[in-house]
Amino acid sequence: MTTFQRARSEEQREARREAILETAADMLEQMPVADVTLNELARRVGLAKSNVLRYFESREAVLLELLERAEDRWLAELPSRLDEQVGADGAPAERIERLAASLAESLAGEPVLCDLLSVQAAVLERNVSTEVALRHKRAAKRHRTILADLIRRHLPETGDAAEQLGRHVILVTGAIGTHAQPAPSVIAAYESDPEIGAMRIDFTDYLRTTIATLAAGTLARDRRTPVRPPRDQ
């Protein structure tokens, strides 16, 4: 059994925080958010639960920090993907489709991020202090600004509405992620009845369609921007 020794220096405290975060991140690669418990996290780190709580006020505080890091990584890799797959050429309708496909595919490649987003409001933000919530929301605001700037780069017609569109992308990612991972009994129901099975959601395809619809609707609300090219073109 690991003997707990109090971290004395700031470097030691930071190292222990990182160990807790890395262990929780490893757990998220192996199991859904709902199965990540504070007791199991403490066991894997080699600390008593009370000692884990010296560094994070709750399980949710740990997971919120991992959410922030996961979104940081996703946004860091997104610019090159969008430059390659979306570009700046073509009519707005064409760029909308390319943007939606690229965003959906990139998010499909980030299952941990999507899982965390799916429980962000209902679970992760429910057991944290105002201080933790404030830090988290400031990080979220920074992330939304980055995403809005990327959307505007490839779809400048959105203008100021790019920030709202970016928020929509994050919200629907969490919502679709929840429904795209049904419980075993629901999967069995889908498999037993083809008509019911047709209701099953494919995450990437559904997210792509939803983002494209939201982007087209954003532009359509501004009558100065034609979403479709004129019929004679």
Q: What is the pLDDT of residues 159-181, one digit of tens each?
A: 999 999 999 999 999 999 999 98
In this prediction the pTM is 0.87
27-62, pLDDT tens digit by residue? 999 999 999 999 999 999 999 999 999 999 999 999
| pLDDT confidence band for 229 (50 / 70 / 90) | low
Q: Which pLDDT score, from 0 to 100, does residue 13 have?
A: 87
CATH class of 7-56: mainly alpha
Write out the two tokens for 156. 């400048």
H-type helices in the chain, by residue range? Answer: 10-30, 38-45, 49-52, 59-85, 92-108, 111-118, 130-154, 162-179, 184-192, 194-197, 203-220
Q: Dig out the tokens for 78 from the structure.
A: 């997104």
Q: Which class in CATH covers the domain with range 58-220?
A: mainly alpha
CB burial readout 50-82, b (16+ within 10 A) else e? ebbebbbebbbbbbbbbbbbbbeebeeebeebb
Indicate the pLDDT class of residue 22, thresholds 50, 70 and 90: very high
Neighbouring residues of 72: CB distance < 8 A, sequence distance ≥ 6: 143
In the chain, CATH 1.10.357.10 sits at 58-220
Q: What is the CA radius of gyration of the chain?
A: 21
Task: Outline which parts of the chain fall under CATH 1.10.10.60.
Answer: 7-56
Amino acid at 150: L
Cα distance from N-terminal residue to C-terminal residue, the chain? 74
